[in-house]
Chain A
Amino acid sequence: MLFKRNICVLFLGLFCGCGIAMADVFSHPVNKKSKPELEKSLAKVMNYEVASGDFKQTKSIKKRNRKFISTGTFMISKKNGIIWKTLKPIFSELALNNGGVFERDSSGQSQMLLTKENPMFADFSSNIQALFSGKIAQLEKNFNVFYEKQSCGFRMGLVPRETMVRMVIANVVIEACKNIDKVIITDAEESPVTLEFLNYKIVGKAAPERMSSAP
């Protein structure tokens, strides 16, 4: 369950796109004044039907001063779900749709990671919905939310509420300008995983009432 929750947090971070550096977002907890602003900013960067592009992921092992870099493509459809392909240095693919979460490995073998009945799936869907619709209140159920306005866009910080989850993932930082540009996930040993989003393409600006539809 907790293991699944960790994946959920990763998902959450990855979904949000890309951006820029860590900085001091965690000294700006979201408040009554900043919450509407964050909701508006989120809704703005999430205003699409389908988003796709490339990503570059850098996993840094702080203790060993080691880096693992991988690249791939992603496609996010508010209607049909998410496809996430890691292409180099080794292939793997993950798909999320209404039926659950599926994985395909380098040998081409597929397996279901989560069924649609799984609570983590429901959690993930509700978090995604919250992000798509900019409903911060929903996100606040699982995270302490932080917000910092930038010269271009914003920076959002998420700290898991659960101590047990924090023992695996300390925090997530999402940075966005016109789109979500960067996500940094830091583990309990302060080793960050940075996802940078490149060649970002969006198709179809969503009408305001459709923005809250589930993936």
Chain B
Amino acid sequence: MKFFNGKHLNAKAGIFLWVVIHAILIFLGISVPWKMDSDLYSILPDSNEIKNVSEAEKELSSRTVRNITVLVGHEDFEVARSAAVALDSVFKDDSSFEETRLFVNEKSMAETREFFFNHRYTLQGRKIREILAKGDFETLKNRALQKIYGSFSNANLNHLDEDPFLLGDAAFENFVQHSPMSLSRFSLRDSVLYAVDSGVTYVMWNAKLSENVPSMASDGHVIAKMNRVLDSLKLAKPGLVVAKSGVPFHSYESSDRAKSEIAWISGVSIVLILLLLLYVFRSSLPIVATLSTIAIAIFTALAFTWYVFGNIHVFTLVFGTSIIGVSMDYAVHFFVHWKTGVRNVRSSIIKGLLLGFLTTELSYIALTFAEFSLLRQMAVFSIVGLLSSFLTITLLFHAVFENAMASGEEIVAKSVPANLPTQFPKVFLDAYSKFSKWGTRLMLVLFIVALLPGLKLLNVHTDIGNFYTMNDEIKASEALTSKLNNLGVAPTYFIVEGNDGIEILENEEQLTERLANAEKEGLVKAYLATSNIIPSERNQQKTYSDFRKIIYGNTGILKVILEKPGSYLTSYARDYLTEIGVENDSAIIASFNPNAWLNTWDSLPQSLNSLLQMLWLGRVGDKYYSAVLPLHVSDKFDAQKIAEGLPGVHVVNKKHNINNALTKISQVSLKLVGFAYVVVFFILIIVYKFKDAVRIIRAPVLASLFAASVFGYAGIEFNFFAIVGVILTLGIGIDYALFFKEGGRQNLTTTLAIMLSAMTTIISFGSLACSAFVPIHTFGLAVLLGISCCFLISPFSAKR
């Protein structure tokens, strides 16, 4: 390694190179605006293989992700209402909320009725459309007469002249029937929505958080403020109960828990690591230098990742800080050798360090090919961080700490360094020296055999449902809100695609026809779809012309308009109008509008707008999308079968699709790392020859299999995060084998350095295994098992 021995690259040139590389990486990062992404949803991979559908699905999620509902309950309605009013008064002007909703708009029903009355010739439901299409005048007439003469109709008879068939009421009823309110258990009282459950009257308060409110818990977060307000309301009004639901409550609760957990986990592990380093080095200099290396590596990695991705997710930081472990390993190796008085430390450790660096980098490079943004971010972050650490050790440390000593003469590390605690590596190596060659082989064979049942039991699957456990309070709140809303949105739903809004509605109508049959068969109780309320333009036009035909036959509309009123009425239509006392059809003719169909949605009533906000996704990419949501489905409901052969209809089960996507990404990642390992193996063969290459590579491979096998034996799901942990084991673990190979099995300095590296890694990652947050726990556990095993197997990589 002449290039690094000081002859071809002197200290000044090294520093210059270090500064230039870091300056470029950092400059690129600071040249773009910095944006930290803390949205928990954005870490999820695409839930659908079709990019646009996945984006449409994300758009659908984003519509509800900031919504919250608080149910304020009490035995006495008045107490519950006054508490809800107090809650609303605190937050209605809070900038953290885009909107709050307690009181029902008194005019909304009248506005909605008027809207459907004005569009009665076009916005009809399936039932009326069928009657008109068949030209079934009798049914149309009888339906109207029942409403006119029946006792339980709330049809408005004041507009009989314009609407003798009460089509306005029919359109309004169709809207009510196909809106979520038809299932809800909430009623109106004193201008608020309330529902009763187990003797408690709950008043509903809804709100939407502003876009700038972070999902992660922080000081002064509006959810914390809301919790305080609700607690004080409970104190002020004994017997008051509160049920909170919505994603922001979950995000806050879980991130708040994670924050305090991470604080103590990282606090304990940092203290332990510092104590360990102090015990070994008995000096603050290596510790300060090591911490500086880590800080520089993280900052450089952060800047460059920012440059590449435009933002950085907080999870990338959490998982990406695994480079701390690797950076520390390099620094530890440097300083352990430095403390022994080795001249030109760099030269003595460079081969192992370089190979370790390249193999780890190769693993991370492989991960950049995974189709998962979070994983790619983590990989880029780690690649750059690791490069920074490697350069700091080999260029900067070399220049700063050993330039004075460097004479070009290499001094091998003393096998028994006097100023370092060597009793532990000595005991460790003594234990290994007792293994005979055949004893070692037998032990490895038995070890592999013992792994097999565990590997057979391994469940390679990712279920995001297992990642987060709600606390009992939130769980009960969600259950209550769901029960009272009674919407019962099925986990599987439909995303409908079209080249424009017109095509979407046409595609939806084909789907809802099948859903209507499923409803008749009892497979689904109801379903929400835009086309239930706003039919396609084709159907709107048909409804309009079918109605004209049913009362005027085939007479053209112009003739009808231009002639004397009543001239072209069919005889049965004329008889009916006479029966209900409508003198002529002039009011009907006046209400005809050749452009009556609804093709712009600019002036919709609020109630309809709210529903469309939920269902109509609009333009996503180069296409248009909407959602159709089946409600209260039975076990036999088969969404795939219903959507089969329908144009532009995609079945979505977000949880199932994300689980599949994560499982697929895990498998692809493993394959990519496997491929990287094959490359590493060939490099090792070139450097060390085949037999030694096998010895080196078997340690991390067996360690990874060990971690997987333990997961199998313990019945723990070997999920995406466990696989990331194994990938990290492969990346870090190979360094131990390489260092043993380079240093030799009898070298106490090398063994001490490896022990120290392994201990720091085990402490930092092992502590993550204590986390209650399943992804971090699984990741930490996998690394803990893998690194521990790798450390124990690595001494066999070196010849005796």
Interface residue ranges, A against B (CB under 8 Å): 1-3, 5-7, 10-11, 14, 55, 57, 59, 61, 63-64, 66, 68, 70, 72, 84, 86, 89-90, 92, 94, 103, 105-107, 117-120, 122-123, 141-142, 161-165, 167-169, 187, 189, 191, 195
List of B residues within 8 angstroms of A72 by Cβ = 151
Number of residues on chain B facing chain A (CB within 8 A): 40
- A189–B159 Cα distance when bound, in Å, is 11
Contacts A3-B154, A167-B106 hold; do A117 and B185 have CB atoms under 8 A apart? Answer: yes
List of A residues within 8 angstroms of B706 by Cβ = none
30 A-B pairs with C-beta separation under 8 A? A1-B181, A1-B187, A1-B188, A5-B188, A14-B151, A61-B158, A64-B161, A70-B149, A72-B151, A84-B151, A86-B146, A86-B151, A89-B149, A92-B149, A92-B150, A94-B150, A105-B143, A107-B142, A118-B185, A123-B187, A142-B189, A161-B190, A162-B190, A164-B106, A164-B107, A164-B110, A164-B188, A165-B188, A167-B109, A189-B156
Q: Chain B nearest CB: distance from A157 CB in Å?
A: 20
Contacts A68-B149, A86-B150, A117-B185 hold; do A105 and B581 have CB atoms under 8 A apart? Answer: no
- A142–B190 Cα distance when bound, in Å, is 8
Interface residue ranges, B against A (CB under 8 Å): 77, 104, 106-110, 139, 142-143, 145-146, 148-152, 154, 156-158, 160-161, 172-173, 176, 181, 184-191, 195-196, 486, 580-581
**Interface majority SS (helix, strand, loop, mixed), chain B:** mixed
- A161–B104 Cα distance when bound, in Å, is 14
Q: Chain A nearest CB: distance from B38 CB in Å?
A: 38
Contacts A1-B181, A3-B172, A141-B77 hold; do A117 and B486 have CB atoms under 8 A apart? Answer: yes
**Interface majority SS (helix, strand, loop, mixed), chain A:** mixed
Contacts A57-B149, A164-B188 hold; do A7 and B154 have CB atoms under 8 A apart? Answer: yes
- A118–B172 Cα distance when bound, in Å, is 19
List of B residues within 8 angstroms of A122 by Cβ = 196
- A6–B154 Cα distance when bound, in Å, is 7
- A101–B394 Cα distance when bound, in Å, is 83
Of A10, A66, A105, the contact of B146 (CB 8 Å cutoff): A105
List of B residues within 8 angstroms of A118 by Cβ = 185
Q: Chain A nearest CB: distance from B262 CB in Å?
A: 45
- A45–B150 Cα distance when bound, in Å, is 25
Q: Is the CB of B154 within 8 A of A10?
A: yes
Q: Chain A nearest CB: distance from B63 CB in Å?
A: 22
Nearest residue, chain A, Cβ from B185? A119
Top 8 closest pairs, chain A to chain B, by CB: A70-B149, A6-B154, A119-B187, A163-B106, A90-B145, A2-B109, A1-B181, A92-B146
Q: Is the CB of B160 within 8 A of A61?
A: yes
Contacts A119-B185, A120-B187, A164-B106 hold; do A59 and B146 have CB atoms under 8 A apart? Answer: no
Q: Chain A nearest CB: distance from B575 CB in Å?
A: 13
List of B residues within 8 angstroms of A7 by Cβ = 152, 154
- A120–B187 Cα distance when bound, in Å, is 7
Q: Chain B nearest CB: distance from A200 CB in Å?
A: 16
Nearest residue, chain B, Cβ from A85? B151
- A117–B186 Cα distance when bound, in Å, is 11
Of A106, A120, A168, the contact of B154 (CB 8 Å cutoff): A168
Give the one of B77, B146, B486 with max A CB within 10 A.
Answer: B146
Q: Is the CB of B151 within 8 A of A57?
A: yes
Q: Is the CB of B186 within 8 A of A119?
A: yes
Q: Chain B nearest CB: distance from A11 CB in Å?
A: 7
List of A residues within 8 angstroms of B110 by Cβ = 164, 167
- Please name 18 further chain A to chain B contacts, defined as beta carbons within 8 Å, in addition to the given A94-B152, A119-B186, sorted by A numbering: A5-B187, A10-B154, A57-B151, A59-B149, A64-B581, A70-B151, A84-B151, A90-B142, A94-B151, A105-B142, A119-B184, A120-B187, A141-B77, A162-B191, A163-B191, A165-B188, A167-B106, A187-B158
- A162–B189 Cα distance when bound, in Å, is 7
Q: Is the CB of A63 within 8 A of B158?
A: yes
List of B residues within 8 angstroms of A123 by Cβ = 187
